[in-house]
């Protein structure tokens, strides 16, 4: 099939499965099917993280992303050849926020907060522009780091009569999101956050992926953001799913799939 490539960003799949124990007992190479599917996807220029899910919402979690939705679909089908039963999935795209700070915003901030304007601001603006280019690239084409935990949840902005996010003026929404982002930046180094867009693609409007080494960091960032107006007044959340990030053979071994030692 011809590639299906977004004009902006990459496709992202969050896939969750239970192990079909009856099938797994009969398949001596169950683990190899999963490991081979991940290896093949990564060889085609995509990324995948496998998780052993904590709790009973699923057994196996897989986050896959890359430039070709058709390739991601083929990967999805390859996993179904293993003894797995799907329990939940989420489809989204990497994206830039419409509320991202502009150069004009930064110039105004420098003058307002630091009294820097005109030629004196140019060096600061040049450094800011370089940082923003790096930030945008990381949002659109992220490289997933090696962390111990992956937490995921979908969310939407509320559209109730008295708390309708989409009836707020853009400037008010941007100001609110600026405060929300400042909370998130305080977790730099502890958490990598990836917000992906799913409006018109899946049932929720965004997917939130949190990668961390410390489970307390996952808890703390969500807890703190709950008190921010963007979440407290205007956000609805789907299920939260957390898993241990491990190499595919190790995940398969934890799940009791045969052949993990040879995968």
Active-site residue list: 153
Burial readout 244-259 (b: 16 or more C-beta within 10 A, e: otherwise): bbbebbbbbbebebbb
Two tokens, residue 196 = 């992906």
Look at the block and give the residue holding tokens 């003058």: 111
Tell me whether residue 56 is exposed, middle or buried, using C-beta atoms within 10 angstroms of its C-beta: 0 to 12, 13 to 18, 19 or more: exposed
DSSP sequence for 173-202: HHHHHHHHHHHHHTTTTTEEEEEEE-TTTS
Q: Give the span between the Cα atoms of 121 and 108, in whole angstroms.
A: 10
Burial 106-128 (b: 16+ CB within 10 A, else e): bbeebeeeeebeeeebeeeeeeb
């Amino acid at each position: 099939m011809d590639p299906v490539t977004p004009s902006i960003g990459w496709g992202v799949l969050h896939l969750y499965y239970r192990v079909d124990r009856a099938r797994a007992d009969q398949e001596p190479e169950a683990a190899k099917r999963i490991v081979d599917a991940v290896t093949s996807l990564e060889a085609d220029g995509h990324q995948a993280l496998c998780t052993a899910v904590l709790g009973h919402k699923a057994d196996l979690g897989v986050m896959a992303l890359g430039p070709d939705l058709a390739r991601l679909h083929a990967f999805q089908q390859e996993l179904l050849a293993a003894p797995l039963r799907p329990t939940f999935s989420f489809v989204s795209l990497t994206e830039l926020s419409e509320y991202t700070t502009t150069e004009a915003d930064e110039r105004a901030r420098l003058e307002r907060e630091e009294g820097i304007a005109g030629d004196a601001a140019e060096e600061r603006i040049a450094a800011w522009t370089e940082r923003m280019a790096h930030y945008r690239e990381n949002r659109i084409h992220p490289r997933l780091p090696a962390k111990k935990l992956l937490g995921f949840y979908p969310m939407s902005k509320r559209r109730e009569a008295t708390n309708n996010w989409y009836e707020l003026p853009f400037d008010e929404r941007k100001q609110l999101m600026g405060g929300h982002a400042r909370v998130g930046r305080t977790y730099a180094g502890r958490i990598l956050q990836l917000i992906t867009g799913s409006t018109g693609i899946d049932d929720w409007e965004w997917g939130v992926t949190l990668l961390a080494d410390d489970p307390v960091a996952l808890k703390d960032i969500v807890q703190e953001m709950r008190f921010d107006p963007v979440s407290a007044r205007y956000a609805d959340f789907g299920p939260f799913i957390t898993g241990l990030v491990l190499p595919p053979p190790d995940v398969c071994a934890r799940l009791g799939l045969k052949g993990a030692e040879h995968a």
